[in-house]
Amino acid sequence: MRFGVIIFPGSNCDQDSYHAAITATGQQAVMLWHDSHDLKDCDAIIVPGGFAYGDYLRTGAIAKFAPIMDEVRKFAESGGLVVGICNGFQILCEAGLLPGALLRNAGLKYICKFVDLRVENAETPFTNACRQGEVLRIPIGHMEGNYYCDPATLETLRRDNRIVFRYSTPAGEITPAANPNGSLDNIAGICNEGRNVMGMMPHPDRSSEALLGSADGARIFKSMAMALAPSGR
């Protein structure tokens, strides 16, 4: 299989995602330029972290108009796997591929540190290498990671088991103190109705090898490879 990593002007985690996808899975990866309409026959798309288009207007607001995003929408609608990491999560929300929005952190400060995530749904193409309720140690690095949606959307996410990760204590407890940014319901990652699109604020690309302080993030890329393997894509 082949991962495609999008490069926007201002992306700064594209190389991290490229490296993590290859080292975690042993599969191929290619870079996809924001101004292109060619997904290069990729089997899974990574929308990486960074500051796409300088985060002007608001995070992801300009990136959603990039030509490559037209192809990503079509790819997602056809069932293709798409993961948005940090700024990528913000872009997917702006593009309408995921519900809700990412607001300024509750403390109005940029936060960069390791956090603990409880796996709320291990039955997605992005988490099948994890165990239900397992706690992963993965870093964050954002200013606008405060997930918000209206009450009806939150109820839908809960009912349909579309909350994939929640910020937790190392023991897996969901507490206000474990929430680094004020995110609604401690949400750290969600998926779409078809479960083929996921956004998460923490960086699995920055925690894919033990040398980085944790290899837990490799599970996300391994899960995607495992999900695609049976289909022969």
H or E element: which one contains 54? none
* Chain centroid to CA 1: 19
7 vs 78: CA distance, rounded Å: 22
Nearest 5°: phi and psi at 141? -160, 85
138 vs 148: CA distance, rounded Å: 21
pLDDT at residue 231 in the model: 52
**CA-to-CA dists, residue 150 to 2, 99, 161, 188, 203, angstroms:** 36, 9, 17, 16, 25
Task: Decide if 50 contacts 14 (C-beta within 8 A).
Answer: yes
Summarised one tens digit per residue, pLDDT across range 168-189 is 999 999 999 999 999 999 999 9
Q: How many domains does the chain have?
A: 1
Question: From the CA atom positions of the chain, what is the Rg in Å?
Answer: 16
pLDDT > 70 in the chain, percent:
98
214 vs 135: CA distance, rounded Å: 12
DSSP for 166-178?
A: EEE-TT----GGG
The CATH code of the domain that includes 135 is 3.40.50.880
Statement: residue 200 has pLDDT above 60: yes
List the domain range (segments joined by +) for residue 171.
Answer: 2-231
Task: Report helix angle 218-228 to 14-25, nearest 10.
Answer: 60
Statement: residue 32 has pLDDT above 50: yes
Summarised one tens digit per residue, pLDDT across range 102-141 is 999 999 999 999 999 999 999 999 999 999 999 999 999 9
